[in-house]
Amino acid sequence: MNHVPNEALAAIDAFGEGHLRGDPPPVRERLRSDLRVRIEVNDDGRTARCRFETEYTRTPPTLRDRDSFLVTYVDGVDERLREWGIKPPPAYEYRETVDGTHRYEGTLTLP
């Protein structure tokens, strides 16, 4: 079952389409009340940074080490990226906490 909101899926589609045209818009979407996704192309144009931001009491080393329900959102985002030929990283790793928001990042490989 896909839990990713339609607005987030549309933003990922716009990113994928934009990449094909050479001007992918950044993705900045809320997946649920305590989870957001951010995607921006890196300067090299061949990769992009994908960051999930979450507010939670724990900060395990990777995002998939969290609860299984949250993982369904991450899997849904990764699945949609793959549909555009974008390769997600094997893991989204904890990077930092800013103002109580935990950031998990990974590098996407663009087609």
pLDDT tens per residue across span 67-85: 888 899 999 999 999 999 9
pLDDT band at residue 1 under the 50/70/90 scheme: low
Output the average pLDDT for the chain.
Answer: 93
Judged against a pLDDT cut of 80, whether residue 26 lies above it is answered with yes
Judged against a pLDDT cut of 80, whether residue 30 lies above it is answered with yes
Provide the token pair at 39: 């995607």
Judged against a pLDDT cut of 60, whether residue 51 lies above it is answered with yes
Q: What is the mean pLDDT of residues 80-102?
A: 96
Asked if residue 92 lies in contact with residue 104, where contact means CB atoms within 8 angstroms, the answer is yes
